[in-house]
């Protein structure tokens, strides 16, 4: 029997608005003291009326457009009725019948996959606005409720069941997060609960060519409240194994809702799933429908650069590699930083170019060389130093000008890469400019040829056995000698010069 996973995702994104969805309370984060951002509206007092946050509507439209959705002429709100201590009104205001965005799609590259599913198209069924519930915390046998979160705006983004593996689900979520951040819709930090995911999954029996052996899909299992990319991936992997086992004992899994136990790495049964009929949805009588037509037409003309467009542009404009742009675009502030550095370098390259033609072959070659150098030193070395010191890029004091100058020192072989690493660490620590630091700490490759030759002759004399090996034809020994020279000179020698003199002296 061959089974393939059929996966769909529902994502709740907390919107970056100043105030809550239906009242003037500040939209605070979890660090605020409990019940300090509340009012009669968001605590559901009798006789209060909701007032719609227009910024939330704008974010809803903007996200819909970024996800290639159709924005209907009108949307409206409905009441979703259920009882829970964190829901003071006894219903949640959501958009059931007329959501703000429909029928979109997102194209996603799946890392590490080749063939037709290396790039997938995920259909977006709908995106709708709703208010968040409050937060329960269980303590000393009682339940305490913090209403700060009650009424904060959410956008729920629902896919069709188009995903076929946990890796695809993760890739989709990462791209969605990048989009939400790029258009400033949400901070979308899963660990902070600003983006939460419910995953539904069923298995489908197929033949050898992956054609389904039945019509329609099987009942889906919904895994609730996954709050990291890793949790989504692991929970789905676990469900695939669990459901496959059930099929092998001839039991088809029944529709149900499950939770995720992070420590045990398993999903567990929560409660039988309500259908939409159980919620008794009906239109919210206190809010008029929203006219979206004019707003969406205006917003369609003010498009922000989306992550995919930015990645393509950075590759085209600066010749950064794919891995480098993937990193730059998915980490806050890095792409702007890299662009500023490349801007500095481009100005310098064009000013010192003697061919006199901007865009000449020579200039482009030079820019490509610098892009490679910058990409490597940004995404491996600088990232490493910052994470070791737990500093965010925005708090690091290495200006783009200084970083560009640092790259020029490397490119001109004024400093080698081992000392470059030391120099960059000093730049992060002191915010001073690299040329000064290089001199102050004597990190430059400033040995003259006679000094270097004397040092090399000394090393050759001390290692007759290595010389013998080299003369017996073991070319690799030359590398060993270069290493020994670099060590003896504490990085002040230029490795290329060292290699040249070594070849002469060893003949």
Contact footprint for Zn ion (CB under 5 A):
23, 25, 39, 41-42
- Which CB, 42 or 61, lies closer to Zn ion? 42
- Which CB, 128 or 149, lies closer to Zn ion? 149
Q: Compute the least distance from the CB of residue 18 to Zn ion, in Å.
A: 13
Q: Compute the least distance from the CB of residue 188 to Zn ion, in Å.
A: 23
Contact 35, 273 (CB under 8 A): no
Q: Compute the least distance from the CB of residue 56 to Zn ion, in Å.
A: 14
Q: Compute the least distance from the CB of residue 11 to Zn ion, in Å.
A: 25
Report the C-alpha gap between 70 and 67 in whole angstroms. 9
Phi and psi at residue 23, in whole multiples of 5°? -150, 175
- Which CB, 36 or 430, lies closer to Zn ion? 36
Q: Retrieve residue 251's tokens.
A: 């039991």
Q: Retrieve residue 327's tokens.
A: 């990193």
- Which CB, 17 or 402, lies closer to Zn ion? 17
* Residue spans of beta strands (DSSP E) within 402-476: none
Residue 117's contacts (CB-CB under 8 Å, 6 or more residues apart) are 110, 164, 165, 168
Report the C-alpha gap between 408 and 91 in whole angstroms. 62
Q: Retrieve residue 396's tokens.
A: 């690091």
* Helix spans in 226-286 (H): 229-248
Q: Compute the least distance from the CB of residue 91 to Zn ion, in Å.
A: 16
- Which CB, 151 or 444, lies closer to Zn ion? 151
Q: Compute the least distance from the CB of residue 59 to Zn ion, in Å.
A: 19
- Which CB, 25 or 188, lies closer to Zn ion? 25
Torsion on CA atoms 458, 460, 462, 466, rounded to nearest 10: 160
Return the number of other C-beta atoms located less than 10 Å from residue 223's C-beta. 25
The residues facing 130 across adjacent strands are 94, 154
Report the C-alpha gap between 61 and 280 in whole angstroms. 27
Among the listed residues 409, 413, 427, 398, the one whose alpha carbon sits nearest the alpha carbon of residue 338:
398
Q: Compute the least distance from the CB of residue 96 to Zn ion, in Å.
A: 23
- Which CB, 27 or 379, lies closer to Zn ion? 27
Contact 455, 485 (CB under 8 A): yes
Q: Compute the least distance from the CB of residue 160 to Zn ion, in Å.
A: 35
- Which CB, 23 or 415, lies closer to Zn ion? 23
């Amino acid at each position: 029997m061959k089974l393939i996973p059929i996966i769909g995702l529902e994502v709740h994104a907390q919107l970056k608005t100043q105030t809550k969805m239906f009242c003037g309370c500040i939209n605070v984060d979890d660090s605020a003291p409990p019940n300090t951002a509340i009012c009669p509206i968001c605590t559901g007092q009798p006789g209060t009326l909701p007032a719609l946050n227009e910024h939330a509507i704008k974010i809803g439209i903007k996200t819909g457009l970024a996800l290639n959705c159709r924005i209907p002429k009108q949307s409206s709100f409905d009441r979703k009725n259920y009882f829970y201590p964190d829901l003071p009104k006894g219903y949640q205001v959501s958009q059931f019948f007329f959501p703000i965005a429909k029928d979109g799609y997102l194209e996603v590259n799946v890392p590490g996959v080749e063939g037709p599913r290396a790039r997938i198209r995920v259909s977006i069924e709908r995106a709708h606005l709703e208010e968040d519930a409050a937060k329960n915390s269980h303590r000393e046998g009682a339940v305490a409720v913090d209403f700060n979160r009650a009424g904060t705006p959410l956008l729920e983004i629902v896919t069709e069941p188009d995903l076929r593996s946990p890796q695809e689900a993760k890739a989709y979520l990462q791209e969605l997060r990048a989009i939400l951040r790029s258009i400033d819709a949400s901070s979308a930090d899963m660990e902070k609960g600003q983006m939460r995911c419910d995953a539904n999954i069923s298995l489908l029996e197929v033949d050898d060519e992956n054609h389904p052996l039945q019509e329609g899909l099987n009942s889906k299992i919904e895994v609730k409240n996954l709050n990291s990319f890793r949790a989504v991936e692991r929970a789905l992997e676990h469900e695939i194994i669990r459901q496959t086992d059930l099929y092998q004992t001839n039991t088809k899994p029944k529709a149900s809702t499950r939770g995720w136990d992070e420590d045990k790495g398993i999903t567990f049964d929560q409660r039988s799933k309500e259908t939409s009929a159980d919620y008794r949805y009906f239109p919210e009588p206190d809010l008029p429908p929203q006219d979206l037509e004019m707003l969406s037409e205006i917003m369609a003309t003010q498009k922000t650069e989306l992550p995919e467009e930015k990645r393509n542009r950075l590759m085209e404009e600066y010749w950064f590699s794919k891995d480098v742009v993937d990193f730059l675009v998915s980490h806050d502030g890095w792409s702007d930083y890299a662009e500023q550095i490349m801007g500095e370098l481009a100005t310098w390259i064009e000013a010192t170019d003697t061919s006199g033609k901007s865009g000449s072959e020579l200039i482009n070659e030079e820019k490509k060389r610098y892009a490679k150098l910058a990409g490597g030193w940004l995404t491996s070395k600088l990232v490493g130093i910052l994470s070791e010191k737990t500093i965010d890029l925005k708090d690091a004091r290495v200006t783009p000008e200084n970083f560009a100058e640092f790259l020029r020192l490397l490119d001109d072989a004024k400093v080698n890469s081992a000392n470059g690493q030391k120099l960059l660490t000093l730049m992060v620590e002191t915010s001073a400019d690299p040329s000064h630091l290089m001199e102050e700490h004597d990190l430059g490759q400033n040995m003259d040829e006679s000094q270097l030759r004397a040092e090399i002759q000394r090393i050759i004399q001390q290692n007759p056995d290595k010389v013998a090996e080299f003369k017996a034809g073991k070319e690799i020994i030359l590398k060993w000698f270069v290493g020994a020279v670099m060590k003896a000179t504490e990085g002040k020698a230029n490795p290329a010069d060292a290699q040249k003199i070594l070849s002469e002296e060893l003949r």
